[in-house]
């Protein structure tokens, strides 16, 4: 029996992201759990973050994880460029460089060039496509594509969450297919599971995610006009006030709960009769995976990233992005308890086999013999 040798993994956070921000967004326990498990298998994990106060989280991390916070009160773009020099003496002892998302590529790429350490790139979503869909400035998209091209070509291993993302990278940047690996976003299925002791609230549907334009929440709220359905939204974002005003104007019963810690989310999900993700586009949405793991019947729009997870009529229901299609899907499913139970059970079974934390860890560790 062979064992992966113990290694030190230097993880570069996404540009501007900190442990403090993870906690504010309710993501702390979910994101940290993966690295705690990874450290237990690999050896040691070092976090290079953009938080000045991130050292205060050291007592909340299990296992062999060290925190290297932002050292100077300078703009994040400048700090990212300086980071390899700030931690020069530390980074030269790392065995592997890993990027949490491509948006944190610059300091990792510089470290790779300086020390010739193997580079692992994780792309939970395609940065360039995201900004194209947002209609960002051409100059910004061009810069992002340039960074993606450099980092994908420099990487020893590229990890993406979907086959479509893998095909895009290989085609767009001429990357050898054998170094691109698909590992879906994981769900801690021991934590996110059906709670049989929690009573579901009648006609309660929920959404989890950022309150931003790509989530198509204006159509979701419009779809519930004139119904007694209670919509609960977990998350925050730039459209919160606009959406609250829309719901009030249309007489839609909507509760905006803001961000809640990820460890509290399973109980919240289990109080709902179904989950809705009405997005215009997605990558490999964690919120959808977590809702399915909890055994909720799910409704999602028929767009890339959602349609790859929901098999219509088997693991959930697909609808179009317009309000009338969303309304039809919600009202039909709420009127059919037997179908809800069937879809919820199948969704849970699918996630346990497809996106468990243990499977994600095992798959990534198997790539570390580099």
Domains in the chain, ordered, with CATH?
7-185+356-365 (3.40.50.2000), 204-354 (3.40.50.2000)
The number of helices, as runs of H, and strands, as runs of E, in the chain is 15, 13
User: How large is the angle between the packed helices 105-115 and 138-154, nearest 10 degrees?
Assistant: 40
Residues 272, 300: Cα–Cα separation, whole Å: 16
Could you give the CA distance from residue 88 to residue 128 in angstroms, rounded to a whole number?
Answer: 30
Q: How far is CA 63 from CA 49, 57, 112, 191, in A?
A: 18, 13, 26, 20
- Would residue 212 be called left, alpha or beta, if left means φ above 0 and alpha means ψ between -120 and 50 degrees? beta
The alpha carbon torsion through 71, 72, 73, 76 (nearest 10 deg) reads -80
pTM value?
A: 0.88
C-alpha to C-alpha distances, 16 to 76, 185, 201, 212, nearest whole angstrom: 6, 22, 39, 19
What stretch of H or E contains 46?
strand 43-48
Over its length of 370 residues, how does the chain's per-residue pLDDT go in tens digits? 345 568 899 999 999 999 999 999 999 999 999 999 999 999 999 999 999 999 999 999 987 999 999 999 999 999 999 999 999 999 999 999 999 888 889 999 999 999 999 999 998 777 666 656 665 677 777 888 888 899 999 999 999 998 888 999 999 999 999 999 999 999 998 899 999 889 999 999 999 999 999 999 999 999 999 999 999 999 999 999 999 999 999 999 999 999 999 999 999 999 999 999 999 989 889 999 999 999 999 999 999 889 989 999 999 999 999 999 999 999 999 999 999 999 999 999 999 998 989 999 999 999 887 5
Could you tell me how many residues make up the chain?
370
**What sections of 126-205 are H helices per DSSP?**
127-133, 138-154, 163-173
Q: Which residues contact 112 (CB under 8 A, 6 or more apart)?
A: 97, 118, 119, 154
């Amino acid at each position: 029996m062979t064992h992966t040798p113990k290694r030190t993994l230097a993880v570069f956070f996404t540009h501007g992201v900190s442990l403090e921000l993870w906690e504010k967004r309710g993501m702390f326990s979910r994101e940290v759990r993966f690295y705690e498990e990874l450290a237990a298998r690999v050896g040691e994990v070092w976090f290079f973050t953009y938080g000045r106060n991130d050292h205060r989280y050291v007592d909340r991390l299990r296992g062999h994880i060290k925190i290297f916070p932002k050292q100077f009160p300078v703009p994040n773009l400048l700090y990212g460029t300086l980071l390899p020099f700030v931690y020069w003496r530390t980074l030269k002892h790392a065995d592997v460089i890993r990027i949490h998302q491509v948006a944190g590529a610059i300091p990792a790429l510089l470290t790779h060039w300086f020390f010739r350490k193997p580079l692992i790139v994780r792309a939970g979503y395609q940065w360039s496509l995201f900004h194209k869909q947002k209609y960002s400035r051409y100059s910004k998209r061009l810069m992002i594509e340039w960074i993606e091209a450099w980092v994908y070509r420099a990487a020893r291993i590229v990890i993406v969450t979907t086959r479509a993302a893998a095909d895009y990278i290989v085609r767009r940047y001429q990357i050898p297919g054998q170094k691109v690996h698909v590992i879906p976003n994981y769900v801690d299925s021991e934590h996110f599971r059906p709670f049989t002791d929690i009573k579901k609230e009648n006609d309660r549907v929920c959404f989890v995610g950022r309150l931003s334009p790509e989530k198509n929440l204006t159509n979701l709220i419009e779809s519930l006009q004139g119904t007694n359905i209670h919509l609960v939204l977990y998350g925050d974002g730039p459209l919160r006030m606009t959406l609250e005003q829309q719901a009030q104007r249309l007489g839609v019963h909507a509760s905006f709960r803001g961000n809640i810690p990820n460890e509290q989310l399973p109980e919240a999900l289990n109080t709902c009769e179904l989950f809705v993700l009405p997005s215009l586009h997605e990558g490999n949405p964690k919120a959808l995976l977590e809702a399915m793991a909890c055994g909720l019947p799910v409704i999602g729009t028929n767009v890339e990233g959602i349609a790859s997870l929901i098999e219509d009529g088997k693991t959930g229901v697909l609808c179009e992005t317009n309000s009338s299609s969303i309304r039809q899907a919600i009202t039909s499913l709420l009127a059919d308890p037997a179908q809800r139970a069937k879809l919820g059970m199948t969704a849970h079974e699918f996630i346990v086999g497809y996106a468990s934390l243990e499977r994600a860890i095992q798959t990534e560790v198997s790539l570390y013999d580099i």
